[in-house]
Amino acid sequence: MKELKVELGERSYPIYVGDGLLNDIATTLAKHKIGTKSPLLLVSDTNIAKLYLEQVKSLLEAGGYRVATAVVAAGEKSKSLAVMEDIITVALEAGLDRNSAVIALGGGVVGDLAGFVAASYMRGVRFVQIPTTILAHDSSVGGKVAVNHKLAKNVIGAFHQPEFVLYDIATLKSLPEREVRAGLSELVKEGFILDRGFVEYCDANAERLLALDSEALEHALYIGCGVKAKVVSEDEKEGGLRAILNLGHTIGHALEAVAGYGELLHGEAIAIGMVGAARLSEKLGNPGSIAVETERILRKFGLPVRIPAHMDTDAIMSAMMHDKKFLEGTMVFIIPTEIGKVEINKTVSIESVREVVERLKRED
Q: Which residues are catalytic?
A: 123, 144, 186, 228, 238, 242, 246, 249, 253, 266
Report the nearest approach of a copy of itself to the CB of residue 326 (Å): 7
- Residue 151 or 309: the one with the smaller Cβ distance to a copy of itself is 151
- Residue 58 or 89: the one with the smaller Cβ distance to a copy of itself is 89
33 is in an annotated binding site: no
111 is in an annotated binding site: yes
Kindly state the helix (H) or strand (E) to which residue 26 belongs, with its residue range: helix 25-31
d(CA 354, CA 232): 31
- Residue 107 or 142: the one with the smaller Cβ distance to a copy of itself is 142
CB burial of residue 15 (10 Å; 0-12, 13-18, 19+): buried
Residues that bind a copy of itself (CB under 8 A): 37-38, 81-82, 84-85, 88-89, 92-93, 95, 97-99, 119-124, 144, 146, 149-152, 155-159, 237-238, 321-322, 324, 326-329
- Bin 75: left if φ > 0, else alpha if -120 < ψ < 50, else beta: left
- Helix ranges (H only) for 260-335 are 266-283, 289-300, 313-321
d(CA 345, CA 359): 21
Residues 6+ apart with CB under 8 A from 285: none
Report the nearest approach of a copy of itself to the CB of residue 251 (Å): 18
Four-CA torsion 176, 168, 156, 323, nearest 10 degrees = -60
Closest by CA to 69, choosing from 50, 335, 81, is 50
Report the nearest approach of a copy of itself to the CB of residue 324 (Å): 5
Four-residue CA torsion sign, 29, 33, 34, 36: positive
- Residue 99 or 352: the one with the smaller Cβ distance to a copy of itself is 99
147 is in an annotated binding site: no
Report the nearest approach of a copy of itself to the CB of residue 317 (Å): 14
- Residue 122 or 315: the one with the smaller Cβ distance to a copy of itself is 122
Tell me the CA distances in angstroms from 252 to 12, 108, 260, one per residue in order. 30, 16, 12
- Residue 109 or 199: the one with the smaller Cβ distance to a copy of itself is 109
Report the nearest approach of a copy of itself to the CB of residue 335 (Å): 20
112 is in an annotated binding site: yes
Provide Rg for the chain, Cα atoms. 20
Report the nearest approach of a copy of itself to the CB of residue 91 (Å): 9
The DSSP line for 254-275 is HHHHHHTTTSS-HHHHHHHHHH
358 is in an annotated binding site: no
300 is in an annotated binding site: no
Strand 341-345 and strand 144-149: pairing? Answer: unpaired
Question: Would you list which residues are annotated within the binding site for NAD(+)?
Answer: 108-112, 132-133, 144, 153
Question: Would you list which residues are annotated within the binding site for Zn(2+)?
Answer: 186, 249, 266
